[in-house]
Structure 1
């Protein structure tokens, strides 16, 4: 807001010359640094974007630095606090990480730019909500990815299933048909809490809520318990381990065996499945996680990235220009098609219509959510009381009691002093 006030005053004093022109009035080339995370964009995309941006913004030298996810939190916090030997003008961060950086401080507010320049009213809420607090926006959605159902087309055909299910009842019925003999209707490990989150949201529940300034775990709420009950019903239609997550063993390897009808995973796992079993190439299909009714798909956990601008940047106008380009329809389309992502707006979902996997993500992304926007949620995931809670329910323990134990742990972590 201080910047906006200064910009207004300067513009008035220079006959509305504009802050972007003022920033470069001293002449010479200005280096603007963009941090992107490893794997978020291809080398080809980065090269094309950099060349195009520099051509459209004479005098700007755009430097793109690739960062590793491991240890990125400390690096970003150091930049925001001005305690790093490195600098960055725009930084890509995970959508669920923004709350932590908001609490730490040092982020530039981007509310007005979002409204005036970037069409924030159309942003996917799973990307935008975690990046805002009290109506102020600090992170700008860049791209999304979420889970879908990957299925074996041959097994579906052999079971007489002609079209993918569109609601929970149809999904259960189809999975029951698939779950015969040595075949598994679905491989759903007992501790896939990302999938559980979607079922809980569909029921109107949540993992935790903020009440009177305090965060409280809510897994023992009746609506959240209903989500867990559906998870239990679906999980029973396969042989997924009740005490392990989707990486133990990697579910793509299990599916590659050819005797599993479905898994719930990002569509990008299809490549790993086909690599493990080339005979399945061309035999994989995708559909959105079904909702309670056929009129809309189920809620899903939305992963992806937001873009932030450090308050300490000396090139704020140019940083805004970088974001303006990255979220433009041109480069959103390029990124989505290159990387099989979902664009940052539901209104751009059509750009991935030719990509079956990405297109199956888009309807779910429109219903997508993210984890509670507490700066301490990462600590909850570190302890992760949700996983043993799920195992407890799946192995016959009292759901209400197990949920209360997990909720108490979540409340303690989110509300305790650091």
Structure 2
């Protein structure tokens, strides 16, 4: 699933004019001097103009027979555009897609299967939240590109005033106790809107549950399981320690703007949210820091939803070998380290987490990313999000309705939607 924040990425927008200098011979797939033209679609804000320029120069120096032509695509309308490209005969050679979109495209048979190349691509240490949704029906189609996830953004001055040491918050119970201590003197211990279903998903995964599970050939909503019920009960406890609305999500109103008003000690957000807070209230610049969402126990950080992208190659792409070379380079150690540093991303595998150690926000993300997850791996999940009964369920519980009855209703809705295409 795409997971974008302009504040997180801080990217200089790409220009479609930043392409290699050689003019292609239209229709031949070759430049005038005989190089193979490799057509690549990357998404808006995926990389900065500076990184793109550096990568193109480095890649073409290492592979002089390939001329990379990167075209920047917009997220709005991209699903229809990619679907049409996969069904046609003039598809690009490499496409960046949201990690949870891979199943939707793979279902049609339009993607190249890289199952036999996983080892060569360093798949043993790929982030689960990128690798698992990149697979469909037992085959690996999506190659992990980069990740981002939520952390806790906190006010260092309010923590110090309350005598709370963030380094001592390793478990959810410790987090509750610290937030209760912060929730005094007009300060909200945490601002948590009632419909932050991404945060709830992490708590469900911590409990050993999921949003939906596969039962034979059918899917079944799982919000009514004991694991999910425990997670919702924890969410309810945490949400009650602030004044977040029970009937809206983190975008309504924008939670960074709420924090900028000066009375909120913590929010759950991507690290770039801190930039938004400081821009809205310059007095808070230098007073914001990060820690990973705490886990149920101190043994592991809290589970998080992994947003980010995978790279795929259309089955009809004309330059399969060159496309694989591109994948291997951009998702390999050297360029992943450069990308993570340049863009404050989490690299695509756990062994590279140290690349962002000097970036406090990205470093906190990387800790959480090691326990990252994705939404249920089915092409129909997008339809669930379109209706999003999870949000309605959360509001119902937070406003006093029966948790079990509401969970059963939401699970039934998820079940019906996921099996509607069966």
Q: What is the TM-score when the length of structure 2 is the normalising length? A: 0.91
Q: In the alignment, does 2:227 pair up with 1:255?
A: no
Aligned to 2:156: 153
Aligned to 1:69: 75
Q: Deviations over 1:338-387 (max 9, x none)?
A: 11110000000001000000000111101000000010100000000000
Distance (Å, rounded) in 2 between the aligned partners of 1:162 and 1:218: 36
Aligned to 2:179: 175
Q: Deviations over 1:240-294 (max 9, x none)?
A: 0000000000000001111101000000111111110111111101000000111
Distance (Å, rounded) in 2 between the aligned partners of 1:217 and 1:379: 13
Q: In the alignment, does 2:128 pair up with 1:122?
A: no
Q: Aligned to 1:384, which of 385, 388, 400?
A: 388
Structure 1 residue 41: deviation in Å?
0.6
C-alpha contact (below 8 Å) 2:194/2:245 kept by paired residues: yes
Q: In the alignment, does 2:319 pair up with 1:315?
A: yes
Distance (Å, rounded) in 2 between the aligned partners of 1:377 and 1:162: 39
Aligned to 2:21: none
Aligned to 2:277: 273
Q: In the alignment, does 2:220 pair up with 1:192?
A: no
Q: Deviations over 1:8-49 (max 9, x none)?
A: xxxxxxxxxxxxxxx99xx81111011111011101101110
Q: In the alignment, does 2:301 pair up with 1:306?
A: no
Distance (Å, rounded) in 2 between the aligned partners of 1:128 and 1:352: 20
Distance (Å, rounded) in 2 between the aligned partners of 1:354 and 1:30: 38
Q: In the alignment, does 2:394 pair up with 1:399?
A: no
3-state SS of 1:130 partner: coil
Structure 1 residue 221: deviation in Å?
0.5
Q: Deviations over 1:163-184 (max 9, x none)?
A: 3311111100100011113210
Distance (Å, rounded) in 2 between the aligned partners of 1:169 and 1:87: 51
Q: What is the TM-score when the length of structure 1 is the normalising length? A: 0.92
Distance (Å, rounded) in 2 between the aligned partners of 1:147 and 1:268: 10
Aligned to 1:41: 47
Structure 1 residue 162: deviation in Å?
2.3
Runs of 4+ displaced beyond 4 Å: none
Distance (Å, rounded) in 2 between the aligned partners of 1:259 and 1:158: 13
Structure 1 residue 104: deviation in Å?
2.2
Structure 1 residue 133: deviation in Å?
2.5
Distance (Å, rounded) in 1 between the aligned partners of 2:166 and 2:237: 22
Equivalent residues in 2 for 1:220-231 (5 A)?
Answer: 220-231=224-235
3-state SS of 2:68 partner: strand
Report the number of matched residues: 392
Q: Deviations over 1:147-169 (max 9, x none)?
A: 00000000000000123311111
Residue segments in structure 2 that go unaligned for 5+ positions in a row: 1-28
Q: In the alignment, does 2:107 pair up with 1:103?
A: yes
C-alpha contact (below 8 Å) 2:166/2:291 kept by paired residues: no
Q: Aligned to 1:335, which of 336, 339, 342?
A: 339
Q: In the alignment, does 2:220 pair up with 1:216?
A: yes
Specify which structure has the higher proportion of helix: 1
3-state SS of 1:298 partner: coil
Distance (Å, rounded) in 2 between the aligned partners of 1:328 and 1:309: 17
Q: Deviations over 1:85-121 (max 9, x none)?
A: x631010000011110111221000111122x21111
Aligned to 2:166: 163
3-state SS of 2:132 partner: helix
C-alpha contact (below 8 Å) 2:91/2:316 kept by paired residues: no
Q: In the alignment, does 2:66 pair up with 1:60?
A: yes
Equivalent residues in 2 for 1:273-292 (5 A)?
Answer: 273-292=277-296
